[in-house]
């Protein structure tokens, strides 16, 4: 094929307001502030790309990717289940869909700021466009292995293979780069390696008139991010460690949502609900950790909340919706490994032995024997290892697929299937009870061993805060 030697160049002023993911591909214009510009072209390889300028740097991304401006007052959801470039620090109250799982290639860029420093004692939050690594691990990104480099800016790219995340800190400028990917990091690494400096102006000292709209309101890349409480309260300073006890006699109204709510929401909602599901890690988690940190956990528990930690790793081998799937030949070992990573995440958030952790195994085709048996082997390995590490084993799945399959399972290849301590099942019948009929039998997970997600994604407003949630009834272990 003949090489394309003619560059097609055009400049697009960023003058449209952004909406949620899937909306406009350009950023909001603020009067009196120079806006970033996009330069689109056809490369020699025939790929259509656009060059996005941010904080004195330029990166080439596919022409089809939307670009989203974030900031302290932004409600734009950072969602890792679709390709996008995010600029700035996410807002405290992201408008995310309740139940989103799955990861593809995304990139996030952040700049530091002295404004909005975290309160004393507030822990850094983790990946949500920079910083990292995964919020619960407790390890700095510098501990991760280098997997590539950014040649034009002379900095390594470090990789978290468990959560499919990449990180880079660009010299002393303060620019922080993070990325997610699905099954293969190659494509997103190719994009990251186009990052280059395009301005002599220090990224940390942009004036109000020269600062791009996308950089305005950006705060430090956690730990110096905005207050995690939505301005409603100050998290307590760290004190003696709380008892890590999973309450096996909890009955209450709960909800789960993709991005961890701000403490302002938690304070406003704590008379309407008693328990909340929080996503703590995994290669198929779709939302950033956002407000989640050890300090957030301590503050939420101090407000009286019970927490249901959720880990979203490999999915059933036949579930083609996901790129990270259980390998039938290694299912038990993979389940055990996932348990170890989940415990590390929970412990990094201050949730120690005795804490329940729920593995999110999304609905799959149980009529396919290999798919069913490998998913059960994986979950059995998960439960066994969670127990060995001193935690409480939970599983979340659809009542008609994963939950029913676990209930009927007793032996697998001649070996007993380890039964989780608690089953959190999705059955959107609108009934706020833990009745799993016709899929779950009355004798399965009796007593305080059942949680039911009885209503799917819907908006709920309490005391002026609106969040898209799934509704749950809780008669099982939570973290207090």
Provide the pLDDT for residue 367: 97
Please tell me whether the peptide bond between 438 and the residue prior to it is cis, using omega within 30 degrees of 0: yes
First-to-last alpha carbon distance for the chain, in angstroms, is 64
By CB neighbour count within 10 A (0-12 exposed, 13-18 middle, 19+ buried), where does 278 fall?
buried
Secondary structure class of 9 (helix, strand, coil): coil
Mean pLDDT computed over 74-82: 91
Provide the pLDDT for residue 216: 26
Look over the chain and give the mean of its residue pLDDT values, rounded to a whole number.
79
Mean pLDDT computed over 241-257: 63
Which residue spans within 234-384 are E strands per DSSP? Answer: 246-247, 252-256, 275-281, 306-311, 356-360
**Stretch among 88-102, 144-158, 197-211, 314-328 having the lowest mean pLDDT:** 197-211
Nearest to 96 by CA among 77, 114, 111, 109: 77
Strand partners, 62: 49
User: Where does the pLDDT of residue 432 fall: very low under 50, low under 70, confident under 90, or very high at 90 and above?
Assistant: very high
Pick the more confident residue, 183 or 301. Answer: 301
Query: How is residue 402 written in tokens?
Result: 């994963």
Q: Is the pLDDT of residue 337 over 90?
A: yes
- DSSP assignments along 255-275, one per residue: EE-SSPPPHHHHHHHTTT-SE
Q: Which domains does the chain have, with CATH numbers?
A: 10-197 (no CATH), 246-479 (3.20.20.80)
Provide the pLDDT for residue 289: 78
User: Where does the pLDDT of residue 135 fall: very low under 50, low under 70, confident under 90, or very high at 90 and above?
Assistant: low
Pick the more confident residue, 405 or 248. Answer: 405
**Distance, CA of 89 to CA of 194 (rounded, Å):** 22
- DSSP assignments along 410-447, one per residue: -EETTEEPPPPSEEEEE--SS--S---TTTS-TTTTTT
Provide the pLDDT for residue 133: 58
Provide the pLDDT for residue 137: 64
**Distance, CA of 57 to CA of 145 (rounded, Å):** 25
Provide the pLDDT for residue 134: 55
Q: What is the tens place of the pLDDT at every residue in 88-120?
A: 988 899 988 887 888 999 999 998 753 333 333
User: Where does the pLDDT of residue 211 fall: very low under 50, low under 70, confident under 90, or very high at 90 and above?
Assistant: very low
User: Where does the pLDDT of residue 250 fall: very low under 50, low under 70, confident under 90, or very high at 90 and above?
Assistant: low
Provide the pLDDT for residue 12: 31
Contact present, 313 and 338 (Cβ < 8 Å): yes
Provide the pLDDT for residue 204: 39
Q: Is the pLDDT of residue 331 over 80?
A: yes
Q: What percent of the chain has pLDDT over 90?
A: 62
Q: What is the tens place of the pLDDT at every residue in 230-245?
A: 333 333 333 333 333 4
Nearest to 371 by CA among 417, 331, 431, 321: 331
Mean pLDDT computed over 29-46: 43
Q: Is the pLDDT of residue 464 over 80?
A: yes
Q: What is the tens place of the pLDDT at every residue in 259-317?
A: 899 999 999 999 999 999 999 999 998 887 779 999 999 999 999 999 999 999 999 99
Mean pLDDT computed over 53-81: 92
**Stretch among 203-207, 214-218, 292-296 having the lowest mean pLDDT:** 214-218
Provide the pLDDT for residue 72: 82
**Distance, CA of 275 to CA of 264 (rounded, Å):** 15
Provide the pLDDT for residue 99: 76
Provide the pLDDT for residue 42: 55
User: Where does the pLDDT of residue 132 fall: very low under 50, low under 70, confident under 90, or very high at 90 and above?
Assistant: low
Provide the pLDDT for residue 406: 97
Q: Report DSSP state, residue 285.
A: B
Mean pLDDT computed over 434-452: 95
Tokens 């989103």 belong to 100
Q: Is the pLDDT of residue 27 over 50?
A: no
Mean pLDDT computed over 387-397: 98
Mean pLDDT computed over 197-215: 41
By CB neighbour count within 10 A (0-12 exposed, 13-18 middle, 19+ buried), where does 54 fall?
buried
Q: Is the pLDDT of residue 395 over 70?
A: yes
């Amino acid at each position: 094929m003949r090489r394309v030697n003619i560059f097609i160049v055009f400049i697009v002023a960023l003058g449209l307001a952004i909406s949620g993911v899937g909306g406009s591909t350009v950023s909001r214009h603020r009067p009196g502030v120079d806006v970033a510009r996009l330069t689109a072209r056809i490369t020699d390889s025939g790929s259509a790309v656009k060059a996005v300028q941010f904080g004195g740097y330029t990166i080439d991304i596919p022409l089809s990717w939307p670009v989203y401006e974030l900031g302290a007052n932004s409600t734009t959801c950072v969602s890792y289940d679709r390709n996008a470039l995010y600029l700035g620090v996410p807002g405290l109250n992201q408008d995310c869909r309740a139940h989103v799982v799955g990861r593809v290639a995304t990139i996030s860029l952040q700049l530091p700021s002295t404004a909005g420093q975290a309160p004393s004692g507030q822990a850094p939050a983790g990946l949500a466009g920079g910083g990292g690594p995964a919020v619960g691990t407790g390890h700095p990104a510098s501990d991760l292995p280098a997997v590539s480099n950014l040649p034009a800016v002379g900095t390594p790219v470090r990789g978290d293979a468990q959560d499919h995340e990449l990180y880079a800190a660009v010299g002393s400028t303060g620019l922080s780069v993070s990325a997610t990917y699905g099954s293969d990091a190659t494509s997103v690494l190719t994009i990251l390696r186009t990052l280059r400096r395009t301005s002599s102006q220090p990224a940390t000292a942009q004036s109000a008139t020269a600062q791009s709209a996308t950089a305005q309101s950006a705060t430090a890349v956690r730990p110096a991010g905005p207050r995690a409480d939505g301005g409603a309260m100050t998290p307590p300073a760290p004190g003696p460690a709380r008892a890590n006890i999973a309450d096996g006699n909890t009955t209450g109204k709960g909800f789960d949502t993709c991005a961890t709510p701000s403490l302002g929401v938690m304070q406003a909602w704590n008379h309407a609900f008693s328990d909340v599901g929080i996503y703590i890690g995994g290669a198929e988690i779709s939302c950033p950790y956002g407000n989640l940190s050890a300090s957030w956990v301590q503050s939420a528990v101090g407000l009286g909340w019970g927490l249901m930690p959720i880990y979203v790793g490999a999915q059933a081998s036949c579930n083609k919706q996901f790129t990270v799937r259980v390998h039938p030949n290694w299912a038990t070992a993979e389940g055990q490994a996932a348990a170890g990573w989940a415990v590390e995440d929970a412990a990094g958030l201050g949730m120690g032995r005795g804490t329940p952790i729920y593995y999110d195994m999304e609905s799959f085709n149980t009529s396919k024997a290999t798919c069913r048996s490998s998913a059960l082997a994986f979950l059995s390995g998960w439960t066994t290892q969670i127990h060995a590490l001193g935690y409480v084993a939970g599983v979340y799945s659809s009542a008609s697929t994963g939950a029913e399959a676990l209930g009927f399972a007793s032996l697998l290849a001649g070996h007993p299937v380890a039964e989780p301590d608690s089953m959190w099942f999705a059955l959107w019948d609108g009934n706020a009870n833990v009745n799993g009929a016709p899929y779950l039998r009355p004798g399965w997970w009796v007593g305080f061993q059942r949680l039911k997600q009885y209503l799917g994604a819907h908006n709920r407003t309490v005391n002026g805060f609106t969040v898209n949630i799934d509704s749950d009834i809780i008669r099982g272990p939570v973290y207090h």
